[in-house]
Amino acid sequence: MARSAHNEVTDSGAFDPSPSTFRSFVSRDSSARFAAAPGRYHLYVSYSCPWDCRCLAYLKLKGLDHVIRFTWVKPVFERTNDHMGWVFPAAGDEEPGAEPDPINGAKSIREFYEIASTKYAGKPSVPVLWDKQLKTIVNNESSGIIRMLNTEFNEFAENPGLDLYPAHLQASIDEINELVYEGINIVYKCGFAKQQGPYDEAVTKLYEALDKCEDTLSRQRFLCSNQITEADVRLFTTLIRFDEV
Asked if the model's pLDDT at residue 63 lies above 90, the reply is yes
CA atoms within 13 A on the CB side of 213: 27
Residue (of 131, 132, 140) closest to 85 by Cα position: 140
**Average pLDDT of the segment spanning 99-116:** 95
Asked if the model's pLDDT at residue 106 lies above 60, the reply is yes
Q: Tell me: do 26 and 143 sit in the same domain.
A: yes
Q: Tell me: do 141 and 173 sit in the same domain.
A: no
pTM of the model: 0.89
Q: Tell me: do 20 and 106 sit in the same domain.
A: yes
Which range marks the domain in which residue 230 is found?
Answer: 167-239
**Average pLDDT of the segment spanning 13-31:** 76
CATH of residue 125: 3.40.30.10
Q: Tell me: do 29 and 119 sit in the same domain.
A: yes
What confidence tier does 194 reach under pLDDT thresholds 50, 70, 90?
confident
Specify if 231 maps to a domain: yes
How many domains, in total, are found in the chain? Answer: 2
Q: Tell me: do 147 and 175 sit in the same domain.
A: no
CA dihedral 178→76→189→235, nearest 10 degrees, is 30
Whether cis (ω within 30° of 0) applies to the bond prior to 127 is yes
- Helix runs in 152-229, H state only: 170-183, 188-192, 196-217
Catalytically active residues, by annotation: 49, 188
Report the distance separating Cα 201 and Cα 14, nearest Å.
9
In terms of Cβ atoms closer than 10 Å to its own Cβ (0-12, 13-18, 19+), residue 136 is middle
